[in-house]
Amino acid sequence: MSAVPDHRPAADTPEGTPNPTRVTVWNENVHERTQPEVAERYPAGIHGAVAAAIGEHLGPAASIRTATLDEPEQGLPPDVVDTTDVLVWWGHLAHDRVDDALVERVRERVLGGMGLVVLHSGHFSKVFTRLLGTTCALRWRNGDDRELVWTVDPRHPIAEGVPSPLVIDRQEMYGEFFDIPAPDELVFVSSFTGGEVFRSGVTFRRGHGRIFYFSPGDQDYPVYHHPDVRRVIANGVRWARPDQPVGPPPELRRSPVGWWDEEPATSPGDASPGSAR
C-alpha cells in the first residue's frame, strides 16, 4: 500500500476548495505474479496501470493509493477502507480468497456513500455480487475479438470525451445474458467480432453509494494501456466520488409524531447530507 500523506474527506472545504478524492485501487495481483507475460504487460501490476490512468486524468483532484490481496489484511484494513472515497476493484482468480468480513466492510462503506468502480472480471467478485444480489453470470470467450464500445447515454459524465465507438482491437468477449439487476443507467453497450453484445458500462446506486461497472480490460490484453479505456475509468471514479462525507449505512430510525416540529432536523439523517439547518 503506497503512502499518501493526507486523506481528508472528499467533501469540499468551507473555503470552497475541494479536497482531493481519496482513491484506492485494489487488485488481487495473482496473474502478475504467476504469469510472466502478464507481468511484462503490466510491470506495475494491473493496479499500477489503473492507478496511473486515474492519475493522468484527475491530477491533483485525486489522491491515489493501491492495495493488493497479498498485503496485510488483504490490503484493506479498516483505516484504509475508512479513508477511501472511491474504491476500484479488480479480481479474477482469487474471488473466493477475499474474507467475508472484508466484503461486509466494503459493502457497508459503499452503503454509507463510498463510490465503487468494478472492472472486468470483478463482475464475479464477492463485493459486487453481494451488493447486487444476482449471480452476475455472463457469456464469454477468450478469442481475440475486436470490441466496439458504443455510448448509448452521450451526456452521461462517464461518457465525457469518449469516442463512440471506442475501439479495442483485441479483447476477451463478454456477452449477454448478463445477470444483473436492471441498471439505474446504461452508459455503454459493446459488440464483438463474433457478433455478441454486452451492457459494458452500467451504473447502480446502493444505499448512499454509487457503483460503476465497466467490462473492458483483461490480464491477457493490454486494454488498460488504451487511452480511451483509461479515460472511462477516470471518468467513472470522478462520477462515483461522494458529494458528501461518507458515513455509516442508513439505519433504522424510530420517529415520534411530529419530531420535526420539536427539533428541526438536528440529528444526522433527519436532514439530507449537507443541510445547513
Site for its own copies in 166-225 (CB under 8 A): 167, 173, 175-179, 181-182, 184-186, 189-197, 199, 204-208, 210
Size of the site for its own copies (CB under 8 A): 86
Nearer to its own copies, 40 or 100 (CB): 100
Stretch that binds its own copies, among 21-29, 79-87, 89-97, 143-151 (CB under 8 A): 143-151
248-277 residues in contact with its own copies (CB under 8 A) are 249-258, 260-261, 264-265, 269-277
How do beta strands 86-90 and 115-119 pair?
parallel
Give the shortest CB-258-to-its own copies separation in angstroms: 7
72-111 residues in contact with its own copies (CB under 8 A) are 107, 111
**133 makes contact with its own copies (CB under 8 A):** yes
Report DSSP letters for 175-219, one per residue.
Answer: ES----PPPSEEEEEEEETTS-EEEEEEEEEETTEEEEEE----T
Residue 130 is inside which H or E element, if any? helix 126-132
Task: Tell me the backbone φ, ψ of residue 220, rounded to 5 degrees.
Answer: -90, -5
Give the shortest CB-226-to-its own copies separation in angstroms: 13
- Interatomic CA distance for residues 190 and 188, integer angstroms: 7
- Interatomic CA distance for residues 192 and 146, integer angstroms: 6
